[in-house]
Structure 1
Amino acid sequence: MKSRYGPEVRSMRTDVVKPQDVFYRPTRLVVPLFQRPYVWSRESQWQPLCEDIVRLIEVIDRHDQNATHFLGAIVIQQVPTSLGVLPTWNVIDGQQRLTTLQLFLNAMYSSFEYRGFSSLARRILPLTENSQDERTKDEDRYKVWPTNRDREGFAAVMSLPVAAQYSDIAHTRMRDAHEFFTGSITEWLGDGDDVERRAASLADSVMTRLEIASITLEANEDAQAIFETLNARGTPLSAADLIKNYVFQQMPEERTERAYLAYWADFETPWWEQTVTSGRVKNTRSSLFLWQWLTARTLEDFPIREVFTQFKHYVSTVAKDIGALLPQIKRAADRYRAVIEGSAREVGELSRIELFSYRVDALRTDVARPLLIWLDEPEQEAITDEDRNRILGTLESWFVRRALVKATSQGSNRTIVDLLRRVSSLPPDRVAQGVVDFLADIHSRTGYWPDDAEVRSVVSEVRAYWSYRQSIQRMIFEALEDVKRGYPDGRRFAMGPIVRGKATIEHLMPQKWRKSWFAELSDDEQAMRDHRIQQLGNLTIVTQSLNTRVSNGPWEQKRDHFLRSDDVLITKDAIDLAGETGWDEGAIERRTEQLIDQILVVWPAPHGHVGLTETRGNGSASNEVDVAQLVDAGWLEAGTRLVPGGSYFAEGIEAAIAQDGRIHVGETPHDTPSGAGRAVLGHGVNGWWYWALAGTERRLSHVRDEYLASVGDAKGVSDGDDDGRRI
């Protein structure tokens, strides 16, 4: 019978067996080296197992002599062996369960021997060890032989003398499990008169009353298909685990261990096994890399949950030689790690690719990783270093400018893949210009390259301290400071680049200005000052945090401290800008413009570039999106509170979204965001930009853009819904 999962399963057999049935006969149950290591823990598995065994014994003693307890399933596959060799099975699934049972049985054996219950102990020993007469090599001693990462620890604890201390062997998860089981058994047995009877009850219950569903496969059956089916039904394996299992199932057994050690073992070290976040999804770093690498190889945009399926398709259609594929993956992985670790260095100069990696990490995006992998593949070796640096500078400008204008990140993955498709067909000497041309030619909100005018318009008014994450603010100021110091291009100063990731954001005019910066200001002027002090021009970075007295002190005190104790050149520029008149709102505005000028130089766009070209009245469905549609689609909820965003913010101004999509200011409903904004301000305004969701910096325009990206219609969006105007 053909299974709907693919493999021929006619000869697969399922039996319900006891531990005694699994382990008593001479046998070896080998966990392939490409499977993951032992990961079960006290809270999740060891403690519940002990509690289940105790409950089982109580049920048997009290009212049900035939009671059993089901432990779960295992899948094993027969391995062809020559005469005189122990019967051997590969453990396809259930290695955690089998290993745990071996540790429990051995702990029980040691506990019985220690108490002098030798006859009971002799009943247990054949379930954990093959007799000396059956062994041809040292590891034949053990019924279960774990994956290579666990073998040393497993052998150490399973051969630990009865009277020895756990401290005599290296600390491993195996040792922890064995020690926990020994302690639990000792505590349960106690010291009463019936302790030997209790020991016999424990032995019988574990050996003959625990049940396991054993699925056995013949040597020629498709173990990989069974493995995938079991994983699809809940086995918590990562994409890297699945790919590893698939890759090494394809290789001849005699090549497996050497290939694993040479090309895959690093993926099972802490750096690669660390959980990292991409977007809103958490994965191991190895799984994330394999997704990004496969994207670079296939030039296809697919979610990370499909990486294993896509990998199998790639192997079957393109990279059919697994032996040749593994070195390619290893080379890319080594370079990937080197760039990420290099970019984490806090002191000293970085290579251009490390600096790019550091800066886009500050933006909390990793969508450029496939392009970095692609750029470093052998097929692109003819691209010159100058062009590589130009590509990185272009991409960095695209990322930074989009972050500054708060452009939606929806669709960025697709943009990078489309870019790769475009430039992969170009000759090496045209790739750098191809990247520029591709990004400059995008005019949809999901991928456009903001021009100088938009960056200036947004940054000059935005409350930068609250609108941008501190990692972004710090990265921006670090970049501006490094340019002043001659890095990464230019005449280097002796002081070197600024230490990365350590500086803190400081307000030049403090947020608590009313004490030491008092001025006779009207209520409106005070509100404007409260806004100005959060603007980019009032911010700087300090390499050593200021104490509260200096931070909130008068300008003269702060200025003297900066001149005497701080080496940040952009702060000294601010002091020069203040001149004799001191630091005030005018100085903040002038410095904001000055910093924007520098930002546009550090992250330039092509000369004459125009970013988002708005198209009005073209009949596009995008122009017809209204608040009612966003409510109906679930992107906004009825009752959502709105407040003026950014520089428009004013205390006491509030609106609410009704179920029909109208916006209520007080008791008066308005059909459009701009109409509601006009009712507050008394003049026309871009309502989509004016209104923000209360408690956030998220404008209605951001919600609309994300909705349009989700439905694939993000072209020609107009910011006007009646007589509104762009800001």
Structure 2
Amino acid sequence: MLTQVMSPQQVFFSPQRLVVPLFQRPYVWSRDVQWEPLWNDLTRLIELIADGDGQATHFLGAVVLQAQATALGDLPQYVVIDGQQRLTTLQILLDALHAQLETRGFTHLAGQVLTLVENPASFRQGPDDRFKVWPTNRDRAAFSAVMSADAPIEYAGQPAGRLVDAHRYFSSVIGEWLDVEPAESERRAGLLVPAITTRLQLVSIQLLAHEDAQEIFETLNARGTPLTAADLIKNYLFQRLGADETAAEQAYHEYWADFETPFWEAEVSAGRIKYARSSLFLTQWLTARMLKEIPARQVFMEFKRYASSSGTDILSLLRALRSAADRYRAFTESAATRDGVLSRLDLFVYRMGTLDSEIAKPLLIWLGEAQQVALDSGDHDRLLGIVESWFVRRALVRAPSQGTNRLMLDLLIQLAKSGAAPTLACAAEEFLAAQTSTTGYWPDDAEIRRELTGLQAYKKLRKGRLRMLLEAVEDRLRGFPGGRTFSVSPVSRGVCTIEHIMPQEWRANWNVGVDAESENARDGLIQTLGNLTLVTQSLNARLSNAAWAAPNGKRAALIRHDTLLLTRDVVHSDTWSDRDIGARTDDLIEVLIATWPVPEGHRAPTASAVERAQYRTEVVDIIRSGILPPGSTLYAKPAAHRGNVASVNLDGSILMGSATFATLSGAARQLQGGGTVAGWHFWCVDPALSRTMADLRAEHAVGTDGT
């Protein structure tokens, strides 16, 4: 290994080719993060030089090159192991500078720059030998086009992309800088050229042929724009594919190039973190293969461990990845279609997407592997239905999601072991039904009824999730999926609008016979499941809030704008009352229970029933149960805040002085002056400070979930 501090002039002066391997990622640097800071650093450097600082330099970072064997008479060639973003940016900067100098007729200076960008014609064996840096496959067309363009460059005719954008940016700022003093532009150019070519510095690390380029690449990859797991795995695989460049390029196009398309480069969320879809897929594929949790920061290391221990050659690994990726893309794109009948797999993926859950993907990848291909299609669909029921029922009761990632992995491990089981579906059903923890139990019918009756679903459930539930009811009424169909197709997915049958602004036209005491109760009732429907076309505010039975009222509007079975019984009713809402809530709950069933006789374990109920309890629930009357006084328990009081409003909010707080913790935080505070333990309901709100919550939980 030879390490030297070098200027761009020293790096690029000799005739040579610095080739970026096809397996490295494309050019990703951007204006805000890299180009503009680099230009600002350059202008500051010139100011220092102009002020007499003869030693001023600016350090750009390191590049790692490895010499390659070439035929006698060919240009010396180096593979760029690391630093391709820097080298490419420097070449673009130099070429943009050359174009600006040529445009102004500064031929002598332009010639100094050109020798750092292009190899002399007498050294070229073919067209690819023209440029000293030759980027990865994906960037070559755009790089060649913009670097070959005659000055002044017409950027509108250049290919779209970051390389051309970078060239345009540097050309623009160089031109503006040279023209600050038009009469002095040649003098300024005489400062700019040597500042770029001799005062920027790089650490050049040149490896011998036998040295481990991959190890050094991994050590240095955190600089610049961080590499994704997909970048690292790609580099690892193709480094080990061998020295046959033609075979490597063929394998790249056949097995990997698709990972560099917009579908795979799109960012997707897993929990609160966003990942490139390709990196997330590789994590999920590895989980399915290794049957272990793979933390995001360890994906690459685990992949290397798997690749070295599995006994699988690199080409076979690439084929397996490509096969799984093609299936993954197929069900992802199919699940995103709005209309038509979906396969059970695609419907599962769509519904899991509305639950914002990626944690079942390793299971889907595993099910698509060759070992499971022989699985009976009916058993496959039943397995997906069981897992979907577990997910949806937990979402309906708002059970905590922490720990479900581990539980899905445990399920996958159990399925992988259950070769002797009658079916995988039975194994999955037995496993999920046996879970007793808060993070793993499968809610039973009684809990679904208890939680959804009176639940302000419109406020408590995310809109995409709530729409999916109503779509599922509509599809079941239409006979999908499976069974006797009563419509030509399922309802369009993800496009209908959720509409309140009795409007949220009900007081204007729906207040006949409603006394003051019932108003607050109705405000909660209109947000429940029974008062919600889907409409294929949004109603304007006038129609949405109109009286029910008027000639141009709400019922008439629903009839005109809707063809859904979900609303069929509603629009044929002469009235729509609080009692009707309650009855329809009960009916819809039963449809949801039938859509996502549990095993016959299933009863969720009661050991953690109180814990589950407490997790979901809110102040308004305790008020409605009668345990805590509205207007009750709350007393601050901590010694530092004793003497402070608050009161509870009918809607569960907390009144303290003239301020209203949505939660107990919010009110407590105001007294405490910020920070974290456990509001349920902060407030007591008696002056003696013997019963906290947490005690009332536990009492309420026993009353609702106890047996």
Question: What TM-score do the two structures reach when normalised by structure 2?
Answer: 0.87
3-state secondary structure, aligned to 2:221: helix
Per the alignment, residue 279 of structure 1 pairs with 271
- Paired residue type of 2:354: A
Q: Measure how far apart 1:722 and its partner are.
A: 9.8
What does 1:525-544 correspond to in 2, within 5 Å? 525-544=518-537
- 1:207 to 2:200 alignment: no
Aligned match for 2:568, one of 550, 564, 572: 572
Per the alignment, residue 548 of structure 1 pairs with 541
Per the alignment, residue 600 of structure 1 pairs with 593
Per the alignment, residue 638 of structure 1 pairs with none
- Paired residue type of 2:447: E
3-state secondary structure, aligned to 2:156: helix
Per the alignment, residue 188 of structure 2 pairs with 198
Q: Measure how far apart 1:654 and its partner are.
A: 7.8
Moved more, 268-277 or 68-77: 68-77
3-state secondary structure, aligned to 1:502: coil
- CA distance change for structure 1 residues 656 and 120 in 2, over 3 Å: closer, same or farther? farther
- Paired residue type of 1:440: A
- 1:426 to 2:418 alignment: yes
What does 1:183-194 correspond to in 2, within 5 Å? 183-190=172-179, 192-194=182-184
- CA distance change for structure 1 residues 272 and 181 in 2, over 3 Å: closer, same or farther? same
Aligned match for 1:108, one of 90, 97, 110: 97
Q: How many residues align?
A: 660
- 1:459 to 2:459 alignment: no
Q: Measure how far apart 1:642 and its partner are.
A: 7.4
**Aligned partners of 1:655 and 1:664 also within 8 Å:** no
- 1:47 to 2:45 alignment: no
Please give the per-residue CA displacement for 1:409-428, whole angstroms capped at 9, x wherever unaligned: 11111111100111112237
Question: Distance between the aligned counterparts of 1:492 and 1:560, measured in 2?
Answer: 27
- 1:24 to 2:24 alignment: no
**Aligned partners of 2:266 and 2:276 also within 8 Å:** yes
Moved more, 201-210 or 165-174: 165-174
Q: Measure how far apart 1:346 and its partner are.
A: 0.6
Per the alignment, residue 226 of structure 1 pairs with 216
Per the alignment, residue 437 of structure 2 pairs with 444
- 1:157 to 2:146 alignment: yes
What does 1:242-281 correspond to in 2, within 5 Å? 242-254=232-244, 255-281=247-273
Q: Measure how far apart 1:692 and its partner are.
A: 7.5
Per the alignment, residue 558 of structure 1 pairs with 554
- CA distance change for structure 1 residues 24 and 133 in 2, over 3 Å: closer, same or farther? same
Question: Distance between the aligned counterparts of 2:592 and 2:472, measured in 1?
Answer: 9
Moved more, 257-266 or 233-242: 233-242
Question: Distance between the aligned counterparts of 2:457 and 2:414, measured in 1?
Answer: 35
**Aligned partners of 1:643 and 1:693 also within 8 Å:** no
- CA distance change for structure 1 residues 561 and 201 in 2, over 3 Å: closer, same or farther? closer
- CA distance change for structure 1 residues 512 and 114 in 2, over 3 Å: closer, same or farther? closer
3-state secondary structure, aligned to 1:283: strand
3-state secondary structure, aligned to 2:533: strand
Percent identity of the aligned residues?
48
Per the alignment, residue 726 of structure 1 pairs with 704
Can you give the 5+ residue segments of structure 2 that lack an aligned partner in the other structure? 653-662, 668-676, 682-695
3-state secondary structure, aligned to 2:585: helix
Q: Measure how far apart 1:543 and its partner are.
A: 1.0
- CA distance change for structure 1 residues 599 and 701 in 2, over 3 Å: closer, same or farther? farther
Question: Distance between the aligned counterparts of 1:458 and 1:451, measured in 2?
Answer: 11
Q: Measure how far apart 1:215 and its partner are.
A: 1.7
Question: Distance between the aligned counterparts of 2:641 and 2:433, measured in 1?
Answer: 37
Question: Distance between the aligned counterparts of 2:394 and 2:641, measured in 1?
Answer: 30
Q: CA RMSD in A?
A: 3.2
Q: Measure how far apart 1:562 and its partner are.
A: 2.7
- CA distance change for structure 1 residues 703 and 290 in 2, over 3 Å: closer, same or farther? farther
Aligned match for 1:288, one of 259, 273, 280: 280
Q: Measure how far apart 1:552 and its partner are.
A: 1.0
3-state secondary structure, aligned to 2:703: coil
Please give the per-residue CA displacement for 1:283-320, whole angstroms capped at 9, x wherever unaligned: 10001111111111111123222211111111111153
Q: Measure how far apart 1:643 and its partner are.
A: 3.4
Question: Distance between the aligned counterparts of 2:107 and 2:352, measured in 1?
Answer: 65
Question: Distance between the aligned counterparts of 2:439 and 2:292, measured in 1?
Answer: 18
What does 1:659-670 correspond to in 2, within 5 Å? 666=645
What does 1:357-372 correspond to in 2, within 5 Å? 357-372=349-364
Q: Measure how far apart 1:164 and its partner are.
A: 4.8
Q: Measure how far apart 1:159 and its partner are.
A: 1.2
Per the alignment, residue 402 of structure 1 pairs with 394
Question: Distance between the aligned counterparts of 2:105 and 2:2, measured in 1?
Answer: 41
**Aligned partners of 1:643 and 1:694 also within 8 Å:** no
Can you give the 5+ residue segments of structure 1 that lack an aligned partner in the other structure? 1-11, 617-621, 631-640, 669-675, 681-690, 705-717
3-state secondary structure, aligned to 1:170: coil
Aligned match for 1:62, one of 47, 51, 62: 51
Please give the per-residue CA displacement for 1:370-402, whole angstroms capped at 9, x wherever unaligned: 111111111101111100110111111111100
Moved more, 352-361 or 58-67: 58-67
3-state secondary structure, aligned to 1:215: strand
Per the alignment, residue 524 of structure 1 pairs with 517
Please give the per-residue CA displacement for 1:425-448, whole angstroms capped at 9, x wherever unaligned: 223752111011111110111111
- CA distance change for structure 1 residues 662 and 643 in 2, over 3 Å: closer, same or farther? farther
3-state secondary structure, aligned to 1:555: coil
**Aligned partners of 1:642 and 1:655 also within 8 Å:** no
Question: Distance between the aligned counterparts of 1:267 and 1:410, measured in 2?
Answer: 31
- 1:88 to 2:77 alignment: yes
Per the alignment, residue 619 of structure 2 pairs with 643
3-state secondary structure, aligned to 1:252: coil
Q: Measure how far apart 1:177 and its partner are.
A: 1.7
- CA distance change for structure 1 residues 377 and 521 in 2, over 3 Å: closer, same or farther? same
3-state secondary structure, aligned to 1:550: helix
Question: Distance between the aligned counterparts of 1:572 and 1:701, measured in 2?
Answer: 47
3-state secondary structure, aligned to 1:644: helix
Q: Measure how far apart 1:521 and its partner are.
A: 3.5
3-state secondary structure, aligned to 1:562: helix
Per the alignment, residue 501 of structure 2 pairs with 508
Per the alignment, residue 633 of structure 1 pairs with none
Q: Measure how far apart 1:242 and its partner are.
A: 1.0
Please give the per-residue CA displacement for 1:519-539, whole angstroms capped at 9, x wherever unaligned: 344433222111211111111
Q: Measure how far apart 1:663 and its partner are.
A: 12
Q: Measure how far apart 1:651 and its partner are.
A: 6.7
- CA distance change for structure 1 residues 723 and 195 in 2, over 3 Å: closer, same or farther? closer
3-state secondary structure, aligned to 1:725: helix
Question: Distance between the aligned counterparts of 1:362 and 1:458, measured in 2?
Answer: 20
**Aligned partners of 2:63 and 2:205 also within 8 Å:** yes
- Paired residue type of 2:445: D
Q: Measure how far apart 1:492 and its partner are.
A: 2.1
- CA distance change for structure 1 residues 346 and 653 in 2, over 3 Å: closer, same or farther? farther
Per the alignment, residue 347 of structure 1 pairs with 339
Please give the per-residue CA displacement for 1:474-513, whole angstroms capped at 9, x wherever unaligned: 1111111111112111222344211111111111111111
Per the alignment, residue 121 of structure 2 pairs with 132
Question: Distance between the aligned counterparts of 1:656 and 1:97, measured in 2?
Answer: 63
- CA distance change for structure 1 residues 390 and 661 in 2, over 3 Å: closer, same or farther? farther
Moved more, 293-302 or 43-52: 43-52
3-state secondary structure, aligned to 1:531: helix
Per the alignment, residue 408 of structure 2 pairs with 416
**Aligned partners of 1:536 and 1:592 also within 8 Å:** yes
Moved more, 71-80 or 587-596: 71-80
Q: Measure how far apart 1:473 and its partner are.
A: 1.2
Question: Distance between the aligned counterparts of 1:250 and 1:347, measured in 2?
Answer: 45
Question: Distance between the aligned counterparts of 1:355 and 1:660, measured in 2?
Answer: 55
3-state secondary structure, aligned to 1:509: coil
- Paired residue type of 1:602: T
Per the alignment, residue 578 of structure 2 pairs with 585
Q: Measure how far apart 1:129 and its partner are.
A: 1.0
